[in-house]
């Protein structure tokens, strides 16, 4: 013992409890910010913490609360696609910033095969993370439901269907398609084609719905020969643009459901001797760095991607701290905005 009567070394939770005259559980609740403590007990614990110089042990707190202080961000894509598409990097940036502010660790997980999916499910079953964020989910993806079945909070970037059961953050994708077509029609374009995303993704179907609605609102008749599926990749945009030119050489505008596909379409238009925007106007979605650096710069529908990442992380942290009704999952829809540049 030291001369002051206090034990040397780091003060323990038990010492704080003894000094405050409360139980160990009460000290733990105060330190973890629980509202289920009286003001009198809270004041006593805070006074004891200050007097003893107690610093909570992060690992011990995690164990006591069955918390890992880690969150998994799952992207079912390859490394090549992850680093080729600004969308994913902006989502990661937003999620990472929000988790860093909350002093949480980010576990980035790429799932490229069924074996990796099974391995990740085993990892989750071992309770090694407090919650899961999922990006780029397809309609038949069972992982969000499997995460919820394990009792872990989950938030999706986008959603699988209109009736999504898992918490999600999305942008107004139907409005994005509608705004793009309205702009093109207002510029006098009458044969407006679209390169969709993969149609097993709800985001792609919504942008296609918006395209069709935009045509109807502009007094133009939707024509399925002007619709070609893409896959959100640059090569997919090139392939789709070649198909459209073969099928409808009279087209005078293209709405591509992502900037990356618009870049692929732009290269094919150049090869075919079509000038942008004089011969064919071009609009994308995301308002990424790709849009700003294209020649000519690309008109694009901006979605707040980094803010989507932050919002997802905030929603997950709230659910981790205070689980809600599993049948009433939170959902957020963020607005989009058309950014006009020289391509249209």
Please state whether the predicted TM-score (pTM) of the whole model is above 0.75.
yes
Of 14, 34, 329, 47, give the one whose Cα is nearest residue 169: 329
Superfamily of domain 13-64: lambda repressor-like DNA-binding domains (1.10.260.40)
Contact predicate 278/214, CB 8 Å: no
What is the rounded distance in angstroms from the CA atom of residue 163 to the CA atom of residue 145?
Answer: 13
pLDDT at 56 (0 to 100): 62
Q: Label the pairing between strands 337-339 and 299-302.
A: antiparallel
pLDDT at 1: 34
pLDDT at position 58 over 80: no
Share of the chain above pLDDT 70, in %: 91
Domain boundaries in the chain?
13-64, 70-171+306-334, 173-302
Mean pLDDT of the region 90-103: 94
CATH T-level topology, domain 70-171+306-334: Rossmann fold (3.40.50)
The listed CATH number (3.40.50.2300, 3.40.190.10, 3.30.70.270, 3.40.50.300) that belongs to domain 173-302: 3.40.50.2300
Q: Write the CB contacts of 201 (distance below 8 Å, at least 6 apart in sequence).
A: 136, 137, 138, 139, 158
Q: Once rounded to an integer, what is the mean pLDDT over residues 262-284? A: 98
pLDDT in tens, 67-78: 788 999 999 888
């Amino acid at each position: 013992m030291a001369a002051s009567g206090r034990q040397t070394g780091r003060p323990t939770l038990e010492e704080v409890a003894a000094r405050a005259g409360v139980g160990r559980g009460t000290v733990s609740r105060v330190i973890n910010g629980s509202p289920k403590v009286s003001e009198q007990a809270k004041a006593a614990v805070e006074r004891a913490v200050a007097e003893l110089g107690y610093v909570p042990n992060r690992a011990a707190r995690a164990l006591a609360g069955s918390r890992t202080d880690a969150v998994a961000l799952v992207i079912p894509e390859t490394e090549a696609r992850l680093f080729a598409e600004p969308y994913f990097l902006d989502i990661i940036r937003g999620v990472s910033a929000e988790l860093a502010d909350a002093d949480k660790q980010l576990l980035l997980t790429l799932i490229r095969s069924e074996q990796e999916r099974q391995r990740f499910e085993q990892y989750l079953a071992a309770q090694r993370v407090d919650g899961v964020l999922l990006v780029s989910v397809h309609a038949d993806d069972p992982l969000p439901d499997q995460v919820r079945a394990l009792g872990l909070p989950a938030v999706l970037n986008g959603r699988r269907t209109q009736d999504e059961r898992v918490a999600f953050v999305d942008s107004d994708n139907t409005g994005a398609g509608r705004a793009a077509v309205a702009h093109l029609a207002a510029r006098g374009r009458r044969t407006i084609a679209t390169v969709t995303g993969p149609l097993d993704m709800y985001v792609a179907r919504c942008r296609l719905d918006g395209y069709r609605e935009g045509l109807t609102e502009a007094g133009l008749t939707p024509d399925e020969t002007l619709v070609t599926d893409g896959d959100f990749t640059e090569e997919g945009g090139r392939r789709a643009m070649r198909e459209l030119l073969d099928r409808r050489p009279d087209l005078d505008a293209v709405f591509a459901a992502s900037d990356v596909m618009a870049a692929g379409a732009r290269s094919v238009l150049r090869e075919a001797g079509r000038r942008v925007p004089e011969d064919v106007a071009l609009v994308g979605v995301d308002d990424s760095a790709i849009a700003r650096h294209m020649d000519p710069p690309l008109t694009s529908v901006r979605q707040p991607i980094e803010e989507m990442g932050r919002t997802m992380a905030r929603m997950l942290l709230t659910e981790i701290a205070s689980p809600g009704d599993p049948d009433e999952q939170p959902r957020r829809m963020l607005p989009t905005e058309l950014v006009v540049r020289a391509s249209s």
